[in-house]
Structure 1
Amino acid sequence: MRGLLARLLLNTLALWFVTLAYPGVRFDPGAGLLDYLVAGAIWGLANALLRPVLLFLTLPLNLLTLGLFTLVVNGVVLYLVAEATALSVRGFGEAVVGALLLSLVSLFLNWLFRD
């Protein structure tokens, strides 16, 4: 349970950092802490459940592009999370860039707060 809560907080913190650093991804005006936590939880669930299915379905494209199509899949997942939460993404290109930044920030935060 403690690890799950830590993941939720790290996902939320990563989303918050990306919305501060990149104007293509932001939270709707008036969004509060609960909206941030819900977006972080849905981002974590989408990465755990939806992303592997999408990666499996796009495996031939991923092999053909030597793994670069994973960036597009990550952008699709971020775009879908934005549709379900108070997160806003300007367009699909911004979703891909935002997902790349989110991955980098999450990697850094996981490294910083590793057990």
Structure 2
Amino acid sequence: MRFVLTVVLNAVALWLTTLILPGLHVTAYASDNPQLAIIVTYLLLALVWGVVNSIIGGVVRFVSFPLYCLTLGLFALIVNGFLFWLVAWISGILGFGLTVDNFWWAVGGAVLMGIFSAILNGIFNRRKADREKDHD
């Protein structure tokens, strides 16, 4: 259940990010129902983001650890931008999804999506903690 909630929250964060940044565009897959197609597209993009971030992101973060230390963590912006751009590339191969105008839009998108994800996860984790406290 937690995995599904994480994918949904990442999809909402991605949707908010694409609303704000003009350099990011989402193209839904071909369907008779355009509203359902765009929702499923955002969910699929969030799923791709989760897979890329956990598998490839872990390897890249491990390999680039010295650069993280050298730049006091600022290299994380570049790594997250690269991962965001990689999600756009993978979704383009699949025939739907995210289009990023250039690398700096990817960095901005990754930063903004991280902020939105943190806020949404904070809201939903607080509600969960409040419900657990009420049951005690």
Q: Normalized against structure 2, the TM-score is what? A: 0.79
Cα deviation 1:17-62 (Å, max 9, x = unaligned): 1001111222026662221111010111112211111111111111
Distance between the aligned counterparts of 2:43 and 2:72, measured in 1?
34
State the partner residue of 1:19: 18
State the partner residue of 1:76: 82
Distance between the aligned counterparts of 2:7 and 2:13, measured in 1?
10
Q: How many residues align?
A: 114
Aligned to 1:67, the other structure's residue is in SS state coil
Structure 1: 4+ residue segments shifted above 6 A:
none
Distance between the aligned counterparts of 1:34 and 1:105, measured in 2?
19
The structure that has the greater radius of gyration is 2
Which letter maps to 1:74? Answer: N
**Could you tell me which of 83, 104, 107 is aligned with 1:93?**
104
Which letter maps to 1:61? Answer: L
Q: Contact 2:100–2:106 at 8 Å: present in 1 too?
A: yes
Which letter maps to 2:99? Answer: S
> Does 2:66 match 1:60?
yes
State the partner residue of 2:50: 44
Distance between the aligned counterparts of 2:25 and 2:120, measured in 1?
19
Query: Which stretch has the larger CA shift, 23-32 or 83-92?
Result: 23-32
Q: CA RMSD in A?
A: 1.3
Aligned to 1:27, the other structure's residue is in SS state strand
State the partner residue of 1:109: 120
Distance between the aligned counterparts of 1:54 and 1:19, measured in 2?
25
